Structure 1
Amino acid sequence: MPAAPLTIERLKAEGLILLECVSGSRAYGLATADSDTDIKGVFYLPKSHYFGRHSDYVPQVNNASNDIVYYELGRYIELLLQNNPNMMELLATPAEHILYQHSLMAHFSAEWFISKLCQKTFAGFANSQIKKARGLNKKIVNPMSREKKSILEFCTVFIDGRSVALNEWLQETATDQRSIGLATMAKATQMYAMYIDKTETLGFSGLYQHPDATQLRLSAIPKGMMPVTYLSFNEQGYSKYCRDYKEYWQWVANRNEVRYQSTMAHAKEYDAKNMMHTIRLLEMAYDIATIGKVIVERPNRDALLSIKAGANDYNELLAQADQLSVEIVAAFDSSHLPDHPNEQAALSALVIVRDQLY
């Protein structure tokens, strides 16, 4: 008979929770009137799960909105040994935000986990968010029309020694693209000889089969027939446009509309909440390198909330992030922190704790 599923309610009813803390903006000291209350914690598996089948292992239990998350003890230690920012913050939660802590959790020392690996995890994640912010800024500043451009908009023809947009030429000459035949030109990349059969008796294929085509069509050209002109197709430009179009409209479909409207409301064209947390993570990385501690509650609440409110210029924030990144590299280079967490001490303590739990 399969074991009953683990739920938050079951964790609490069976006394399986080892640590429970307020996390997120309230732990950072950055909560505002509209902030949610996030909870993170640690639990251990019921004996039947832990000593049962491998498939019974459950690394995480959370609610539907994912703002309450508990990590299984072994998974918690595993992530700490990777210097995962969320777990490092959970380990360093200020006492006033700890809702419950089992006495056995005292076996794990924060000093074992602080290492130079935090440069990669804290600053590395922050820099990935900067990249994300740059991409978001690009999407906001350069919105794409819902009407997709056709392949013809990336083609040019050469007439009387000058280049003319293909669509413009088709309109000026009242030429239907279906009456055109194309042939490749030897040793010429993305260049085509262009033929016209307005009688439509030669069976030319036209320039494309349908408006969403990604390639131009070639035709069989009768021997001796002379080209009317030559056509250049910016294939790389069209491929990039198609990728950008797909990415942009996927972003529109999947974006958090509340966050997006908040971004637009402050008219600075960046995700202000994302940038606030990016700067926060970089500052925490600098703390770790210089004083060897994870400072969860931030001392510069007003400055960070000012970023969240959109009071800062986008390029100014990027410059601040870039400067912090430079300082972090230098600080970790001169730091006396170990290169990696003390895995032996952590795993030995885990064995002791598990032994007492079971």
Structure 2
Amino acid sequence: MTFEALYLQNQFILLDCISGSKAYNLALPSSDTDKKGVFILPQGELFGFGKPQQLNNESNDEVYFELRRFLELLLKNNPNILELLSTPEECVIYKHPLMELIRPEHFLSKLCLDTFAGYATSQIKKAKGLNKKINKAFELERKSVLDFCYVVYSNGSVSLKEWLQEQQFRQEECGLSKLQHFKDVYLLYHQSQLKQGETFYGIVAGPGSADVQLATVPKGIEPLAVMNFNKDAYSIYCREFREYWEWVRKRNEARYQSTLFHGKSYDAKNMMHTFRLLNMAEEIALYKEVRVSRDDRDFLLKIRSGEFEYEELIQMVEEKMEKIKVAYEHSQLPLKPDEQYAESLLIQLRESFYRL
């Protein structure tokens, strides 16, 4: 079974729904139409190797889950799957009568604290990461090891580059030896201290070097300076530099420009969905139901349009999380769904469908 084959054999589609922002009642004129659904494999394909758990189109905005996978994800209280099962009627394109046997209240549990609120927490981290990246842009050319080296100088320290300039030295003319018992601390020498025919090969081997290099230093030569290479800071810088430009390469440019437009330096769409998930998590604990269509639309769209400061939203999230934890402590929801019930339901649904 392939995505294309499923559309040609749509009798195997059990549920076909509009999902995403349109189902959430959060759509804007520019919003795309996403679809999710459930299908059941033809009986003959159950006995072969090719048993797809999920089918989707190339753009991944239409996704269908095989019945078994759908129930497995329900057992895990996966937010996307619970939302799909609770899709508002106006967003349901087709629903097979057998789907009436799968009801959200049979699967909702205290796992939703982790799946809904936990996923919301990951979105907060994502928003924080974007906030950091926007406010800490990196230059096109990566700094070198030399930018993280410092020389003890005049009751303090100066950058190695500054010291070399003052001494009118080039790094290629210098050599280092390790200073014992001091992490990343070196004794520094210059070519002018060597005898004719002897040479140093530089503090670093080249512009792309990831570390300093040691030299063979003749006995009796006094060091000109003591140098420290802040290797930890250099490693952090290299990681953040790499992550920043990877993010620039992969980011959704239209969404990024929208973030810059409202001037709040956070991913407003992600932050909106953070609050949507937190509110849904609380509703599950209080009312034992998944409310997909949002009656808090105005508040959520205000977040998306950048009407709140980043720090204000973070504080609201922290306060909300405390309320949600209390709600789940007092909730009568089971700790987790009944796996045996789900398995018997899967068998019942398959037998009923294949008899039709």
- The answer to whether the superposition gives a TM-score over 0.5 is yes
Supply the distance in 2 between the matched residues of 1:45 and 1:16 (Cα, whole angstroms). Answer: 7
Matched, 1:44 2:16: no
Q: Tell me which residue corresponds to 2:90.
A: 96
Which AA in structure 2 matches 1:296? V
CA contact (8 A) 2:6 2:13 kept: no
Superposed CA deviations along residues 165-211 of structure 1, whole A, max 9, x for unmatched, are: 11011112210111111001111111111111137842212100111
| Aligned-residue RMSD, C-alpha | 1.3
Supply the distance in 2 between the matched residues of 1:154 and 1:140 (Cα, whole angstroms). Answer: 23
Q: Tell me which residue corresponds to 1:214.
A: 210
- Partner-residue secondary structure (3-state), 1:278: helix
How much has 1:98 moved relative to structure 2? 1.2
Matched, 1:22 2:32: no
Runs of 5+ in structure 1 lacking a partner?
A: none
Supply the distance in 2 between the matched residues of 1:10 and 1:132 (Cα, whole angstroms). Answer: 35
C-alpha spacing 1:247/1:284, structure 2 compared with 1 (3 Å): same
Matches within 5 A, 1:45-64: 45-51=41-47, 53=48, 55-64=49-58
Among 292, 298, 321, the residue aligned to 1:296:
292
Supply the distance in 2 between the matched residues of 1:307 and 1:158 (Cα, whole angstroms). Answer: 50
Supply the distance in 2 between the matched residues of 1:29 and 1:12 (Cα, whole angstroms). Answer: 31
How much has 1:7 moved relative to structure 2? 2.0
Which AA in structure 2 matches 1:29? N
CA contact (8 A) 1:179 1:196 kept: yes
How much has 1:10 moved relative to structure 2? 3.2
Identity among equivalent pairs (%) = 47
Among 247, 253, 264, the residue aligned to 2:249:
253
- Partner-residue secondary structure (3-state), 2:17: strand
Supply the distance in 2 between the matched residues of 1:61 and 1:239 (Cα, whole angstroms). Answer: 41
Q: Tell me which residue corresponds to 1:203.
A: 199
Runs of 5+ in structure 2 lacking a partner?
A: none
Supply the distance in 2 between the matched residues of 1:14 and 1:301 (Cα, whole angstroms). Answer: 34
Supply the distance in 2 between the matched residues of 1:220 and 1:36 (Cα, whole angstroms). Answer: 65
Divergent runs of 4+, >4 A = none
CA contact (8 A) 2:285 2:331 kept: yes
CA contact (8 A) 1:129 1:274 kept: yes
Supply the distance in 2 between the matched residues of 1:243 and 1:40 (Cα, whole angstroms). Answer: 37
How much has 1:71 moved relative to structure 2? 0.6
Which AA in structure 1 matches 2:255? R
Which AA in structure 2 matches 1:210? G
Q: Tell me which residue corresponds to 1:157.
A: 151
Superposed CA deviations along residues 233-274 of structure 1, whole A, max 9, x for unmatched, are: 111011110111111111111111111111111111111111
- Partner-residue secondary structure (3-state), 1:336: coil
How much has 1:357 moved relative to structure 2? 2.0
CA contact (8 A) 2:204 2:213 kept: yes
Q: Tell me which residue corresponds to 1:241.
A: 237
How much has 1:11 moved relative to structure 2? 3.6
Q: Tell me which residue corresponds to 2:120.
A: 126
Supply the distance in 2 between the matched residues of 1:352 and 1:12 (Cα, whole angstroms). Answer: 26
Supply the distance in 1 between the matched residues of 2:292 and 2:350 (Cα, whole angstroms). Answer: 28
Matched, 1:330 2:326: yes
Among 69, 73, 81, the residue aligned to 2:75:
81
Among 259, 262, 282, the residue aligned to 1:263:
259
- Partner-residue secondary structure (3-state), 1:42: strand
How much has 1:292 moved relative to structure 2? 1.1
Supply the distance in 2 between the matched residues of 1:251 and 1:110 (Cα, whole angstroms). Answer: 37
CA contact (8 A) 1:108 1:346 kept: no
Deviates more, 1:10-19 or 1:267-276: 10-19
How much has 1:109 moved relative to structure 2? 2.2
How much has 1:14 moved relative to structure 2? 4.4
Matched, 1:194 2:188: yes
How many corresponding residue pairs? 352
Supply the distance in 2 between the matched residues of 1:202 and 1:210 (Cα, whole angstroms). Answer: 20
Q: TM-score, normalization: structure 2?
A: 0.96
CA contact (8 A) 1:190 1:235 kept: yes
Q: TM-score, normalization: structure 1?
A: 0.95
Which AA in structure 2 matches 1:253? R
CA contact (8 A) 1:19 1:101 kept: yes
How much has 1:65 moved relative to structure 2? 1.1
CA contact (8 A) 1:11 1:43 kept: no
CA contact (8 A) 1:39 1:67 kept: yes
C-alpha spacing 1:163/1:201, structure 2 compared with 1 (3 Å): farther
- Partner-residue secondary structure (3-state), 2:11: coil
CA contact (8 A) 2:201 2:215 kept: yes
CA contact (8 A) 2:173 2:190 kept: yes
